[in-house]
Amino acid sequence: KQQWTDASAVDEVPEDDVIGIVVGGRDIALYNAGGEFYATDNICTHGHARLCEGFLEGHEIECPLHQGRFDIRTGAPLCAPVTEAIRSYPIRIEGGRVFLALD
């Protein structure tokens, strides 16, 4: 059975932006892409950069360090130098809160 963890208020994530949060001891990037919410690991798979400090364009997050890109819907790497996916997490919105399934 899916365990949902309360991660944030919906209001805390500005539209077309990303914030960094710690949930269940994990560093998570929480995105609002045109009103749709997504969550991935916050640390780039290429180096130790935090994706929440990067640039969100549509469904793509650009790493602030070497400009690698990931699809925030799946975590898939989109261009060099990133080759390894970041983990993405299922999301549920309820009562103005964002819940994540971490396992």
Chain residues binding ligand FES by CB under 6 A are 44, 46-47, 49, 63, 65-66, 68, 81-82
Least distance to ligand FES, CB of residue 79, Å: 9
Q: Which is nearer to ligand FES, 6 or 84 (CB)?
A: 84
| 74: exposed, middle or buried (Cβ count in 10 Å: 0-12, 13-18, 19+) | middle
Least distance to ligand FES, CB of residue 97, Å: 30
Q: Strands, DSSP E only, in the chain?
A: 5-9, 17-23, 26-33, 36-41, 55-57, 60-62, 69-71, 77-79, 88-89, 91-94, 97-100
Q: Which is nearer to ligand FES, 46 or 97 (CB)?
A: 46
Least distance to ligand FES, CB of residue 100, Å: 22
